[in-house]
Structure 1
């Protein structure tokens, strides 16, 4: 079963990078599958075979330089619907930086890479109020890259800013590999800490979630049955109107492939109506990131 042929599919989460730029601290030769340049020409045949017409490119380095690099790609490639970049949110000049980036037609929002910060509670404690006010004023979004342990701090932040559109990346990275290795649990058991965190985050109506990154968190040789309980829980909590499909390509290449994950997600969502599937595979991303209303040329 596929999504409706007349609905535009959007990959709500993927990356482009060039290691020679030198600001990807996590991307080293120790990851040979990923340690090369990935650009739109690499993704084009994969997304075409899956019927994906546009993508949201998400930052992979905590620098303004990388954000500008991605925006440069977006200016010349129509398949890039927009860019989620990085801004030092606790910098006193963050509002000015956000205002400048907001003049770019395809700048969609920011992601502070919370999972990599030394303080798990940073987002609840840092002085980011002025930056968040700027995000709201410019109708920009906030991507939250977290593990389960970051959920309480993110809840505090979300409750503090009800006017900020927030999306949780990769379903908050459930410990799928650990769950499958736990011999004390039955085959359908999944982390209670993760399930409870998702329930708490989903209580906020302005919070969405990305159906992405699950394959990366699974053990090798995962299949539909491996991921089904996690997808089912995300559907039960956020519902099909607040989930958006993303590939997490090329990181996905560590433990899967584009077409395989797209096909798996399609099968796991086949119980939804055609309208609901179209929402998850594109309409929700278009609405959340305000893609339909964005300018096509710089102001």
Structure 2
């Protein structure tokens, strides 16, 4: 892959008929249908996005295999972030199987949906995480601010594991600055300051905002992520089609471009492609 490719570091494909998306119900009408490459292609092409990283949306190995099947015949898919039962003794063997697919690049437990906010600090088996490290696979952390203390313990336990925080740690933007800034802002600062140099996705912010959000709505959150992670550790993602609940691909991409337009070109190129390419080994 050429070094200056524009990459969407976080999007989803799914088919509700598969039956393992517990969160995806008919009540979520804009999302409750099959979404595939044909739906995304015109949107990403209009935004100048050449490749994407497809991320799991169901806590099953079967869905990961489904995504890898799609990736085999779709050049626009640069990598797949899948799901593996990291608290199971079968995890190392499952990882050994999945890594045979060249586009399998990372795993993501759905931490935000687990009933135990401290799960990441104690539940994953050491053998599973060490296998991730041995196979040079990365780890997506889907968290809220309440998960930060447990994630820090996990990071300190496995300093060689490459970790990216999804969706800027999901700030409660809809609550407004006064009500929603803390503890999110301190949590971001704590994670960014760890010596392990975590990465973070500039994604999901529109979803966390109120309807009819604007650049001004998102500006302080983008600025805070830039201040602490820097352009060298942020990567842009659409979170499409979840994004459709509160925005559009073109609107979010354009807003993110405007909110980072003050950066040097090399820094913008890093956020919109180069960092994802390096982090995920695409």
TM-score range, shorter chain: over 0.9
1:213-232 aligned within 5 A: 213-232=204-223
Q: Which residue of 1 aligns with 2:229?
A: 238
Q: Which residue of 2 aligns with 1:36?
A: 33
Answering whether residue 186 of structure 2 is matched by residue 158 of structure 1, we say no
Distance 2:125 2:221 in 1: 32
Cα displacement string for residues 274-297 of structure 1 (whole angstroms, at most 9, x for unaligned residues): 000000000000000001xxxxxx
Q: Which runs of 4+ in 1 moved over 2 A?
A: none
The alignment's TM-score, normalised by the length of structure 1, stands at 0.92
Deviation at 1:206, TM superposition (A): 3.1
The alignment's TM-score, normalised by the length of structure 2, stands at 0.97
Q: 1:127 to 1:37 in 2, by over 3 A?
A: closer
Distance 1:285 1:127 in 2: 25
Q: Which residue of 1 aligns with 2:200?
A: 209
Distance 2:181 2:219 in 1: 14
Aligned pair count?
Answer: 279
Q: Which residue of 2 aligns with 1:285?
A: 276
Distance 2:134 2:97 in 1: 13
Stretches of structure 2 lacking an aligned partner (at least 5 in a row): none
Cα root mean square deviation, aligned: 1.1
Contact 1:190 1:229 in 2 (8 A): no
Stretches of structure 1 lacking an aligned partner (at least 5 in a row): 1-5, 292-299
Distance 2:264 2:129 in 1: 36
Q: Which residue of 1 aligns with 2:141?
A: 144
Distance 2:151 2:125 in 1: 13
Q: Which residue of 2 aligns with 1:132?
A: 129
Q: Which residue of 1 aligns with 2:183?
A: 193
Deviation at 1:42, TM superposition (A): 0.3
Deviation at 1:190, TM superposition (A): 5.2
Distance 2:8 2:125 in 1: 29
Cα displacement string for residues 69-119 of structure 1 (whole angstroms, at most 9, x for unaligned residues): 000000000000010000000101111111111111000010000000000
